[in-house]
Amino acid sequence: MKIYGVAMLAACYFTGLLIGEVLGRLLHIQGNLGGVGFAMLLLILLSDWLKKKNLLHAEFESGIGFWTSMYIPIVIAMASIQNVQSALSGGMVAVVAGAVSTSLCFFLIPLLKGLMKKNEQ
């Protein structure tokens, strides 16, 4: 069962990278635009959905948990190969994308907090 958790993580990772590549090409950027972020978002959403359906067993979660502990070193390694200077010199897309995503996160915090209170009741 642990292998299924790792397989789900890999599927989310490749899907996230594909989304990031497509988004980068649509915005005419030579690179992946948030692929790892999309992958982690997909993993969170899929894991939550499986938990709600009682399909996510403890052994399944241990496969995900192993790679989740590796997430920070992997992201740091991936970020070290990104050429930030090239992204910024190519236009304001990187700055605008960062500002918009950060702003959305700030606005989503109260919404998520309200949803969590609603689920607790």
CB-side neighbour CA atoms (13 Å) of 87: 17
**pLDDT tens digit string along 91-108?**
777 778 778 888 998 888
**pLDDT tens digit string along 6-21?**
788 788 889 988 998 9
Residues of the chain with pLDDT under 50: none
**What per-residue confidence (pLDDT) applies to 22?**
92
**What per-residue confidence (pLDDT) applies to 92?**
77
Sign of CA dihedral 43, 47, 53, 59: positive
Please name which of 98, 99, 103 lies closest in space to residue 37, comparing C-alpha atoms: 98
**What per-residue confidence (pLDDT) applies to 19?**
92
